Amino acid sequence: MKYTVLFLSLFFLFSCGSEKAKEIPVTYFEASGFTKTPDFTNTLEYCRILDQSSDLIQMTVIGKSYLGKDIPLLMASASGFDPAKSKDKTVILIEACIHAGEPDGKDAGLMLFRDFATNPAWENVLKNITVLFIPVINVDGHERFGPYNRINQNGPDSMGWRTNAQNLNLNRDFINAETPEIQAFIKLFNQWDPDFFIDCHTTDGADYQYAITYGMETAGDMDSALTHWQKEVYLPYIETEMQKAGYLIFPYVMFRNWHDPRSGLLSYASNPMLSQGYTAQRNCPGLLIETHMLKDYKTRVFSTYEMIKNTISLLDGEGKSLKDMRKNAFLFSGDSLALDFDSNGDSTMVDFLGVEYSSEKSDLTQGLWFKYDNTRKATFNLPYFNVLVPSVTASVPDAYVIPAAWKIVAEKLRLHGVKVDEINENTKYKVTRYVFSDVVFRPTPYEGKQRVESFTMKEVIDSVIYPAGSFYVNARQPLLRVIMHMLEPKAPASLLNFGYFNVIFEQKEYTESYVMETMAREMLKKDTVLAAEFKEKMKDPSFASNSYGILNWFYSKSPYWDKNLNVYPVGKLYK
Ligand SMILES: [Zn+2]
């Protein structure tokens, strides 16, 4: 059934000073009595209606999904839609349906854009602010539309699916940018360099009173002025405004024990595989909105609407100073950068607005059965472990040098907008490289990758000849944070951590045991230091009982050994 036929009688009268003035129907969500979300076809149709109804709104396409469908973008502005001519304006980017089963942000955004077109009060705001809105970034996931996609969630009636057509979770792909959907996002990001980002979700987890829990990067993983602005300006404002609007909000936290708020609350820094963790590394404050899965769909969409609307209102006044802070943040000149964070164990007591619950032994599973009673509100005074300190820090080199054979790394850097130079002739650089040992892989795949669970690394300084066609990445450029998160192995979502360098851990040549039996004896005869080392090694029973391991150890001490095994190919150059 065509949506316009279904809800033809419900219109907003257009009253802005637009040439294109037309009647605009209410959104599918509103017309459904706040219980349904439109499928992708109906979503696009409403986007087109908005585009045709107001000069303040334009619809375009940012790229294609894996299955080749257009990913739509709605833009709202009173001064045109050219990013090159919008440098002085504050740009807000809103993303919805990255998890297409969580469509709250899509319906909130469509209502907001309808209001841009119909409420003249917005026209002045849109002179200062450009709003970019991706109603559905995960188009293929959204097309897997049905009532059984979100088992825990209280509506809407039908919704899309969490992953894209490749079964990849797009909200783990921001720094890797493997999927066409996230590549399209990054292209858009590079064009507009947004000043503020909002990603709309619905959370799983325990029951509590809050309509929304929110994430913002305030752990120290952003420039200090931007961190301060988020903590002291943005968050106090948004908390007050949301309270005035009748919605309770709280930081997005983990409970120390799953499902059990009384166990205490943990905060954490989001790494750049996640949307707002990624924009944070591009000096763009990102707000993660997580509506609560058990609240009715109307409450979830309207609270999302309210949070976005209030954010835009604040940025109408704060945009200029935010832009200045962002400019400064890109000039980072420190010698080291913190890449990961952990709680230092300090906590403060906070009131958490929960609901009464009990846990009892399940006679079905013998496990714990949490029973929440949302008719009985309860305030828990809880320890909140919200002091985070750096757990991984890396020194900032003058440049990173990437061998020609690792072109894939250079291409990934370029995709994010990093300036990468190519070396025209064989060049010798004295570089610091990492050498790995004790490498442990995760036993199960993660987003289709075999990730590295843990490793030990040490630094060695070598003179290395990089062949023509290798890549030189000046570290002192605006996207330094992105570069280091990708290239520093210990960064939580580094390319090494995600398995892109796994081949460096594979031994490709082997010794035949009968060849090595002879050679090992000669080596022991010639080299007394080696002989002493061998004697020491043999005290380790696991070594002494592994005959091939012993021969491979002699191989590793011979000149035939692969000098590149377990060595990070990317070098750090300090002038
Ligand atoms: Zn989500």
What the block records as the tokens of 38 is 């439109």
In angstroms, the CA 526 to CA 208 distance is 72
Ligand 1 centroid – CA 238 distance (Å): 21
Residues with CB under 5 A from ligand 1 (ion): 99, 102, 201
Average pLDDT over every residue of 301-311 = 98
pLDDT digits (tens, 9 = 90+) for 490-549: 999 999 999 999 999 999 999 999 999 999 999 999 999 999 999 999 999 999 999 999
Clarify whether residues 373 and 482 are in a common domain.
no
- Has residue 563 been placed in a domain? no
Ligand 1 centroid – CA 145 distance (Å): 16
pLDDT digits (tens, 9 = 90+) for 118-128: 999 999 999 99
The pLDDT score that the predictor gives to residue 260 is: 82
- Has residue 570 been placed in a domain? no
Domain encompassing residue 264: 3-329
What is the model's pTM?
Answer: 0.94
- Has residue 339 been placed in a domain? no
Higher pLDDT, 371 or 169: 169
Clarify whether residues 201 and 164 are in a common domain.
yes
Total number of domains in the chain: 4
The pLDDT score that the predictor gives to residue 11 is: 58
Average pLDDT along the chain: 94
- Has residue 521 been placed in a domain? yes
In angstroms, the CA 329 to CA 339 distance is 16
Ligand 1 centroid – CA 135 distance (Å): 14
Average pLDDT over every residue of 346-355 = 93
Of 82, 386, 388, nearest in space to 221 by CA: 388
Clarify whether residues 151 and 279 are in a common domain.
yes
The pLDDT score that the predictor gives to residue 17 is: 44
Clarify whether residues 72 and 206 are in a common domain.
yes
Ligand 1 centroid – CA 99 distance (Å): 5
Clarify whether residues 371 and 284 are in a common domain.
no
Clarify whether residues 377 and 408 are in a common domain.
no
- Has residue 62 been placed in a domain? yes
- Has residue 571 been placed in a domain? no
Clarify whether residues 416 and 540 are in a common domain.
no
The pLDDT score that the predictor gives to residue 4 is: 42
pLDDT at 154 over 50: yes
Ligand 1 centroid – CA 201 distance (Å): 4
- Has residue 133 been placed in a domain? yes
Ligand 1 centroid – CA 455 distance (Å): 30
Clarify whether residues 76 and 133 are in a common domain.
yes
Average pLDDT over every residue of 146-163 = 94
The pLDDT score that the predictor gives to residue 5 is: 38
Q: Are 431 and 572 in contact (CB under 8 A)?
A: yes
Q: How far is CA 399 from CA 108, 252, 396, 432, in A?
A: 44, 36, 8, 11
Clarify whether residues 360 and 476 are in a common domain.
no
Last residue of a domain, one of 389, 421, 441: 389
Q: Are strands 57-64 and 196-203 parallel, antiparallel or unpaired?
A: unpaired
The pLDDT score that the predictor gives to residue 15 is: 47
Q: Are 23 and 13 in contact (CB under 8 A)?
A: yes
Angle at which helix 121-128 crosses helix 297-329, to 10 degrees, equals: 30
- Has residue 266 been placed in a domain? yes
Of 563, 190, 568, nearest in space to 409 by CA: 568
